[in-house]
């Protein structure tokens, strides 16, 4: 019985290259985890891994709002400030009644869901305004959201301003609220599944359905790939853009409420530059700044890479100033690589 001829080395090499190209970001994530674990074994302690996933849960919700905007060749620089504003709204309405420094001293006890819904609606309002300006006034998304970023920060500062003390942090949050982000389903003493990760998983599933199984999702990709052809084929560009920004605003509002619950407080400075992390995560995950290319899975991987990197730099004792430099270099490199891909395809 003859033995089969071995595969040619060239074929094996090409297969390896093809696999590496298709799974490059996953490989980067795995390499980052392995290297950090070798340098600092405590990195793989279950509590640290759960902490990474809890932080990533907030950022993935923000990135899933930013991603579809990037798919339409836009950008949203107001994401972080919207998170901060909505966090302040949710926190101010969910302070304990016996807390001395309540924003609204005479506010009665409110059901937990009401302030969270109000925070989401505040994000929707921001998204509607941004989308309307981009769609009907034809102001570029960069300029529109840059302006709204500054305005939202001013609104958040006024909201928490308590003369003569100024914009003080909002504390004294109710336990049922903070439990949303910090509580968990405990399987054993060492294994637990935080509620915030479950919430993020639900959001991920819904956004996957939206982008892959709905007409709106197809329209988003079509507009990013070729706006003129999409409009000729029946896509309403104004309606699509407004819906994209509204969905993003709703996700920012949810992320704001969850972050306020997670840290047990909120300030007008919460969310500062978070949109840059979201944009970087999206681009690292394969979302093209030139529109029309990107997946939910890629966005999730990009967020995980960013959070693993952040946590690795912390556990390795890297200075916070160097952390900012590394993060900036990653953002520039990711966008540069994306632009090079676009130039090659032209």
Domain ranges of the chain: 60-272
Angstrom distance (rounded) from CA 279 to CA 70:
8
For 214-235, write each residue's pLDDT tens digit: 999 999 999 998 888 888 888 9
Close Cβ partners of 22 (under 8 Å, ≥ 6 residues apart): none
Mean pLDDT value of segment 87-91: 97
Instruction: DSSP letter for 346, please.
Output: -
For 110-164, write each residue's pLDDT tens digit: 999 999 999 999 999 999 999 999 999 999 999 999 999 999 999 999 999 888 7
Residue from 221, 250, 191 nearest 72 by CA: 221
- Between β-strands 192-194 and 184-186, what pairing exists: parallel, antiparallel or unpaired? antiparallel
Residue of higher predicted confidence among 341 and 80: 80
Angstrom distance (rounded) from CA 48 to CA 72:
36
The DSSP annotation for 67-111 comes to HHHHHTT---TTHHHHHHHHHHHHHHHSB-TT-TT-SSTTPPP--
Close Cβ partners of 35 (under 8 Å, ≥ 6 residues apart): 312
**Please, which pLDDT band fits residue 289 given cuts at 50, 70 and 90?**
confident
Residue from 104, 71, 110 nearest 88 by CA: 104
For 290-345, write each residue's pLDDT tens digit: 889 899 999 999 999 889 888 888 888 889 888 888 878 877 777 777 667 666 66
Match 């891994």 to its residue by tokens. 49
Determine the length of the chain.
346
Across the chain, what does the average pLDDT equal? 89
Residue from 270, 247, 244, 264 nearest 82 by CA: 270
Global pTM reads: 0.90
Q: Which two tokens stand for residue 322?
A: 């160097």
């Amino acid at each position: 019985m003859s033995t089969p001829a071995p595969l040619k080395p060239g074929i094996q090499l090409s297969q390896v290259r093809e696999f590496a190209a298709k799974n490059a970001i996953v490989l980067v994530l795995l390499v980052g985890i392995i290297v950090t674990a070798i340098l600092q074994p405590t990195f793989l302690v279950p509590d640290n891994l759960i902490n990474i996933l809890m932080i990533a849960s907030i950022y993935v919700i923000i990135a899933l709002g930013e991603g579809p905007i990037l798919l339409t060749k836009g950008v949203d620089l107001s994401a972080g400030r919207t998170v901060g504003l909505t966090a302040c709204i949710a926190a101010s309405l969910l302070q304990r009644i016996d807390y001395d420094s309540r924003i609204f001293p005479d506010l009665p006890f409110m059901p937990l869901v009401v302030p969270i819904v109000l925070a989401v609606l505040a994000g929707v309002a921001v998204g509607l305004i941004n989308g309307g300006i981009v769609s009907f006034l034809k102001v570029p998304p960069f300029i529109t959201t840059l302006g709204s970023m500054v305005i939202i920060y001013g609104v958040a500062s006024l909201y928490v301003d308590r003369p003569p003390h100024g914009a003080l942090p909002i504390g004294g949050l109710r336990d049922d609220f903070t439990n949303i982000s910090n509580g968990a389903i405990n399987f054993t003493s060492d294994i637990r599944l935080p509620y915030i990760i479950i919430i993020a998983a639900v959001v991920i599933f819904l956004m996957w359905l939206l982008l892959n199984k709905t007409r709106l999702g197809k329209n988003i990709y079509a507009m990013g790939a070729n706006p003129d052809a999409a409009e000729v084929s029946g896509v309403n560009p104004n309606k699509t853009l407004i819906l994209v920004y509204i969905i993003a605003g709703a996700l920012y509002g949810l992320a704001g409420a969850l972050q306020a619950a997670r840290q047990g407080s909120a300030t007008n400075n919460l969310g500062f530059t978070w949109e840059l992390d979201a944009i970087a995560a999206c681009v690292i995950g394969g979302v093209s700044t030139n529109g029309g290319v990107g997946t939910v899975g890629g966005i999730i991987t990009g967020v995980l890479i960013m959070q693993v990197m952040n946590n690795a730099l912390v556990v390795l004792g890297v200075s916070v100033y160097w952390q900012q430099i590394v993060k900036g270099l990653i953002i520039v490199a990711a966008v540069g690589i994306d632009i090079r891909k676009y130039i090659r395809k032209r």
